Amino acid sequence: MMSRIFFLLGALAGFLSVALGAFAAHGLRSQLSPEMLGAFETGVRYQMYHSLALLVTGYAARDSALRQFSYAGWLFVSGIALFSGSLYALATTGITWLGAVTPFGGLALLAGWCLLGYGFWKSGRQR
């Protein structure tokens, strides 16, 4: 069941990253400063990377009962929301305190990668 959730969330996040990237390129380019447009594009890029990570996590969770894969997936979801979401909000609203949220999202993404790697390590040793 968890694998299906991560497949769905990964596909949805990937879809949204393409849509938001197109929106930035065509709708925001004239509205934002180059610095804020860069922040928005960083959010899009990291969202896409971690959308793919969610698909990998879903694939890994499909054949495993290891909790590390589930934790990794939820960390990726949280990280996308906090990291990319805060960059989107910062760029479009100019509310600077939102930048304080971004590192927490980055930490969630890093922890997700650590748990994903550990889960693969642990599942390989059990075979």
- Give the span between the Cα atoms of 106 and 38, in whole angstroms: 17
What CA–CA distance (Å, rounded) separates 12 from 4? 12
Q: How far apart, in Å, do the first and last CA atoms of the chain sit?
A: 22
Is residue 126 pLDDT above 80, yes or no?
no
Q: What's the whole-model pTM score?
A: 0.93
The confidence score (pLDDT) of residue 74 equals 97
**Is it the case that residue 127 has pLDDT exceeding 60?**
no
Query: Do 47 and 109 touch, CB atoms closer than 8 A?
Result: no
What mean pLDDT value characterizes the chain?
93
- 34-61: average pLDDT: 96
If you average pLDDT over residues 73-80, what whole number do you get? 98
Angle, helices 2-23/34-62, rounded to nearest 10 degrees: 160
Residue 1: its pLDDT value, please?
Answer: 77
**In 10 A of CB 119, how many CB atoms?**
22
